């Protein structure tokens, strides 16, 4: 019997939201009842995909699974930076999923890397392409403890030079949409691409119609239909040996409520079938070397029908096509930041050449520590300097690296993706630009004047917002106070004191094996339900993990608690299996 491989890829990403002066996320009222959109999407999606529920026929929880242990995935490094600080248990589950997948697939993990910032690389210089890729690899290596085999390109935006940079940095494959290659190989197989530098890359092409119907169609409402589509007989002579699906990771739980439940059900169904192998691209490539050479259609992306024009022109692509808005502001925004980047890089090269042993090598290496603590960064800067013991020069050297960091992240693609220059994402990239200008020192007034002159040609669609110049002066230079209470946000989400107390009591069961500890959880669970509130998601997840790892006698004593927390038959875990899937 021929084996059909199935790879499902999730691209998990959110725009960076941190204030570049304070490194904190300001309150975003549109994300209510949560503090900001990172927090809201973490609650709706990220914690859900690493703790997805499989339900018994009576609607109670039969099992909790980490779906990332079974699917290919990437997380934007800036999102992982936020998760590491603000949602450590979710972050730990992401890393654990890759570890488990390596054990299952002969060392080939499910996680792949991404350039550090979500920039449209075909619009970047080669030097910036190299830095973004090197930073992404360094961040991946620090978090996952291994070198990445593949790399997701932001918006799958690609051109020949971008693939040459990936191959030169040791990346073996990337994932593209069907329209981005000419004459894709039969049977769903990856193609072999020869870069302008004579290097080879595997191009893994996902199934467009199935991926579309997962993200925008009916398949997350009917997981059985999803299975049928993945396993349907191929039209033509050769049955597909590989069926690949790729969507935004936020599809599962944020864009589609309970999408992670459909994903978990699908994975369980596929993994029980003979003749079907659920795996990742690296594991498949280890057994099937690409032999069909393919040509690239470039520059292209998965989210713009006009190539990469969405990030520099009024091409017609927008979030709300039913609204009569214009995107003519995109071109002057791109022009302003391209001009500013050239000026900033010249400043960095001029001053950095005097401070660093090799300024551009220092910038590339900075990606290994960019999200680290101050002591680690100070040590790194000293190692890169010509005079490591000169404290005053060390301060300026650090400022120059931060200047370059902001010069890179001001090209985050989200600033152009949406429909107005006065939107959250465009304002955010202009804040990065403003911070970079400030770090340029005595040249700052000239640089700001040049940016403002170019932004004056970018007209907003928002009544009263004016031009990009007005947006910069009114919304970017003004510092927005950060809510100091944000670090204490309720990890159980909205739900009140009883929900918080229940989560705390459940966590104590890991170490307190007394009847009193059980009684406290039971009492709090009853109180939550009397209040008409659902049992908190995080309390269920923590209980499932604790009971799965408990000695048999303690696990048995927890059976009545399991029932009260919503688990089937009072078991809390599937018999004979632990908490990981």
In angstroms, how far is the first alpha carbon of the chain from the final one? 26
- Residues constituting the chain: 581
Instruction: Please tell me whether residues 141 and 59 are part of one structural domain.
Output: yes
Cα–Cα distance measured from residue 171 to residue 183, given in angstroms and rounded to the nearest whole number: 23
- Does residue 440 share a domain with residue 363? yes
Contact assessment for residue 414 and residue 429, using Cβ atoms and an 8 Å cutoff: yes
- Taking residue 305's Cβ as centre, other Cβ atoms within 10 Å add up to 12
Domain end, chosen from 303, 321, 346, is at 303
- Give domain status of residue 579, yes or no: no
15 and 147 together in one domain: yes
| Residue 311 in domain | no
Residue 323, in any domain of the structure: no
**Claim to verify: residue 411 and residue 501 sit in the same structural domain:** no
Do 229 and 125 share a domain, yes or no? Answer: yes
Report the distance separating Cα 97 and Cα 74, nearest Å.
Answer: 12
- Count the alpha carbons within 13 Å of 437 in the hemisphere toward its beta carbon: 23
Cα–Cα nearest to 128, from 412, 364, 298, 349: 364
> With DSSP H G I counted as helix, E B as strand and the rest as coil, what are the percentages for the chain, rounded to 5?
50, 10, 35
Cβ atoms of 243 and 2 within 8 Å: the answer is no
pLDDT of residue 504: 87
What strands, in cross-sheet order, belong to the sheet with 173-176? Answer: 173-176, 200-205, 191-194
Name 272's Cβ contacts closer than 8 Å, sequence gap at least 6: none
Tell which of 424, 445, 476 closes a domain: 476
Q: What is the pLDDT of residue 482?
A: 43
The pLDDT, as a whole number, for residue 118 is 98
Number of domains the chain contains: 3
Cα(261)–Cα(473) distance, rounded to whole angstroms?
45
| 313 inside domain | no
In a domain, 67, yes or no: yes
Could you tell me the mean pLDDT of each successive run of 10 residues in the chain, 581 residues long? Answer: 90 95 90 94 98 96 98 98 97 98 98 98 98 98 98 98 98 98 94 97 98 96 96 71 97 96 97 96 97 97 97 96 94 98 98 97 97 92 95 94 98 97 97 96 96 98 96 79 40 57 89 90 86 85 92 91 85 41 33
* Per-residue pLDDT, 497: 66
Short-list 59, 309, 294, CA closest to 160: 294
Euclidean distance between CA atoms 176 and 281, whole angstroms: 12
Q: Within this chain, do residues 168 and 290 fall inside the same structural domain, yes or no?
A: yes
Contact assessment for residue 542 and residue 503, using Cβ atoms and an 8 Å cutoff? yes
Owning domain of residue 107: 4-303
Q: Is residue 577 part of a domain?
A: no
Looking at residue 25, what DSSP letter applies? B
Alpha carbon of 305 to those of 157, 310, 417, 439: distances in Å? 12, 9, 13, 38
Answer yes or no: is 576 within a domain: no
Of the three residues 412, 447, 476, the one that is the final residue of a domain is 476
Asked if residue 237 and residue 345 are part of one domain, the reply reads no
Do residue 141 and residue 45 come from a single domain? yes
Shared domain check, 407 and 515? no
* Position 483 in a domain: no
88 and 134 share one domain = yes
Q: Which residue has the tokens 């200047």?
A: 403
**CATH number for the domain including 102?**
3.20.110.20
Whole-prediction pTM value? 0.90
Residue 462 to residue 370: CA distance in whole angstroms? 35
- Res 485: pLDDT: 40
Phi-psi bin for 572: left (phi > 0), alpha (psi -120 to 50), beta?
Answer: left
- H/E stretch holding 224 reads helix 223-231
Same domain, 71 and 152: yes
- C-beta atoms surrounding 340 within 10 Å: 21
**Pair (364, 246) in one structural domain:** no
pLDDT at 376: 94
């Amino acid at each position: 019997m021929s084996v059909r491989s199935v790879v499902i890829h999730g691209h998990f990403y959110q725009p960076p939201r941190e204030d570049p002066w304070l490194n904190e996320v300001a309150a975003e009222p549109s994300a209510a009842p949560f503090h900001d959109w990172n927090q809201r999407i973490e609650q709706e999606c990220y914690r859900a995909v690493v703790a997805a529920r499989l339900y018994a026929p009576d609607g109670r929880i039969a099992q909790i699974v980490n779906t990332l242990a079974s699917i290919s995935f990437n997380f934007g490094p800036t999102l992982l930076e936020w998760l590491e600080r603000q949602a450590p248990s979710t972050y730990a589950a992401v890393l654990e999923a890759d570890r488990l997948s390596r054990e299952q697939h002969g060392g080939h993990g499910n996680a792949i890397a991404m350039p550090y910032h979500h920039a449209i690389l075909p619009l970047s210089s080669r030097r910036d392409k190299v830095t973004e890729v090197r930073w992404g690899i360094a961040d991946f290596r620090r978090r996952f403890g291994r070198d990445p085999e593949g790399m997701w390109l932001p918006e799958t935006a690609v051109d020949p030079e971008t693939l040459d940079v990936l191959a030169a940095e040791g990346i073996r494959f990337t994932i593209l949409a069907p329209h981005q290659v000419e004459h894709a190989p039969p049977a769903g197989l990856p193609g072999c691409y020869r870069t302008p530098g004579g290097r080879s890359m595997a191009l893994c092409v996902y199934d467009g119609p199935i991926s579309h119907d997962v993200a925008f169609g009916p398949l997350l409402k009917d997981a059985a239909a999803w299975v049928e589509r993945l396993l349907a007989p191929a039209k033509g002579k050769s049955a597909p040996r590989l069926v690949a699906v790729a969507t935004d990771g936020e599809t599962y739980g944020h864009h589609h409520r309970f999408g992670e439940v459909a994903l978990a059900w699908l994975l369980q169904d596929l993994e029980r079938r003979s003749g079907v192998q659920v795996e990742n691209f690296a594991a498949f490539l280890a057994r099937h070397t690409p032999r069909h050479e393919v040509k690239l259609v470039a520059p292209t992306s998965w989210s713009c029908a006009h190539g990469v024009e969405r990030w520099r022109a009024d091409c017609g692509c927008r979030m709300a096509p039913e609204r009569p808005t214009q995107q003519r502001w995109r071109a002057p925004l791109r022009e302003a930041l391209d001009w500013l980047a050239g000026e900033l890089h010249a400043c960095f090269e001029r001053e950095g050449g005097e401070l660093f042993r090799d300024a551009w090598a220092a910038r590339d290496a900075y990606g290994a520590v960019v999200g680290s603590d101050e002591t680690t960064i100070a040590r790194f800067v000293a190692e890169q300097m010509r005079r490591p013991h000169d404290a005053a020069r060390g301060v300026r050297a650090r400022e120059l690296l931060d200047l370059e960091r902001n010069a890179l992240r001001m090209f985050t693609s989200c600033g152009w993706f949406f429909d107005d220059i006065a939107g959250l994402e465009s304002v955010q990239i202009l804040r990065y630009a403003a911070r970079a200008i400030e770090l340029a020192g005595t040249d700052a007034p000239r640089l700001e004047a040049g940016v403002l002159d170019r932004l004056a040609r970018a007209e907003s669609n928002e009544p009263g917002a004016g031009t990009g110049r007005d947006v910069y002066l009114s919304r970017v230079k003004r510092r927005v106070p950060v809510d100091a209470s944000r670090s204490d946000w309720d990890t159980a989400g909205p739900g009140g004191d009883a929900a918080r107390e229940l989560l705390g009591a459940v966590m104590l069961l890991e170490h307190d094996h007394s009847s009193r500890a059980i009684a406290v959880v039971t009492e709090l669970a009853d109180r939550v339900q009397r209040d008409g509130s659902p049992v908190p998601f995080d309390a269920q997840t923590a209980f499932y993990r604790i009971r799965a790892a408990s000695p048999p006698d303690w696990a048995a004593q927890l059976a009545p608690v399991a029932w009260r927390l919503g688990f089937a038959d009072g078991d809390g875990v599937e018999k004979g299996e632990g908490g990981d899937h």
